[in-house]
Amino acid sequence: MTAKVPVLTIDGPGGAGKGTISSLVAERLGWHLLDSGALYRLTARAAVKHHVALDDEAALAAIATKLDVAFPVVDGQPCTLLEGEDVGQVIRTEQAGELASQVAALPSVRAALLQRQRDFCQLPGLVADGRDMGTVVFPEAPLKVFLTASAEERARRRHLQLQEAGVDASLSSLLKEIQARDARDTQRSVAPLKPADDAITLDTTRLSIPEVVDRLTELLAQRGMSNGI
């Protein structure tokens, strides 16, 4: 599909800005958006809902294969439905992220979700946000970007987000959680978090969101992928 559909993959660790950046770039281009992390968070959520242990790989793979999810836009706002229930807020918590990271380390779960992710590749184009988009899911993508930032900066950003949402959180605890998740993601046996060999690495530690979006738009234009946008 990537031979006919332009694909931009954006990989990187949690807190590097992938979700926000990917959404803004997709909106600017009018392309489809794949939030691959949501699929793992939804798998973990479904496992908890159905009382499936997070170390039961076979049962989790079965859940991933039959995952009943939808991403409709309601009253102009994107929603995330799991078995008809809006879980958009629930799956964005720190706890949900930790559970998703555990589930994502299981080879059978990753295999079960692979084709579902590739099905997002449709015209006019796709922005794919995740941790193995450029290395595993869309290895033939014409533009691959790896966003990163220091663990301290990523913890600071998350702490600010939680404060703005009225959630009390410890900055030191967030830093430890981010470091633990980084270790788990980079050391897993299947599809570890790393830049693709032909990826462009962009450190966002000292960059604003608009600056990163503009940089990615420039890269797309250089490859003739942005239709002049």
Confidence of residue 25 (pLDDT cuts 50, 70, 90): very high
Which pLDDT does position 2 carry in this prediction? 59
pTM confidence score: 0.87
Which tens digit of pLDDT belongs to each residue from 196-213?
999 999 999 999 999 999
- Residue 117 scores a pLDDT above 90: yes
52-56, 71-75, 102-106, 167-171: the lowest-pLDDT one: 71-75
Binding-site residue positions: 12-20
Q: How many angstroms from the chain centroid is the CA of residue 167?
A: 22
Which pLDDT does position 178 carry in this prediction? 93
For 127, how many CA atoms within 13 A lie in the half-sphere containing its CB? 25
Which tens digit of pLDDT belongs to each residue from 143-177?
999 999 999 999 999 999 888 888 888 999 999 99
Confidence of residue 3 (pLDDT cuts 50, 70, 90): low
Residue scoring higher pLDDT (188 or 78): 188
Domains of the chain: 7-219 (3.40.50.300)
Confidence of residue 1 (pLDDT cuts 50, 70, 90): low
Which pLDDT does position 169 carry in this prediction? 87
Binding-site residue positions for ATP: 12-20
- Residue 77 scores a pLDDT above 80: no
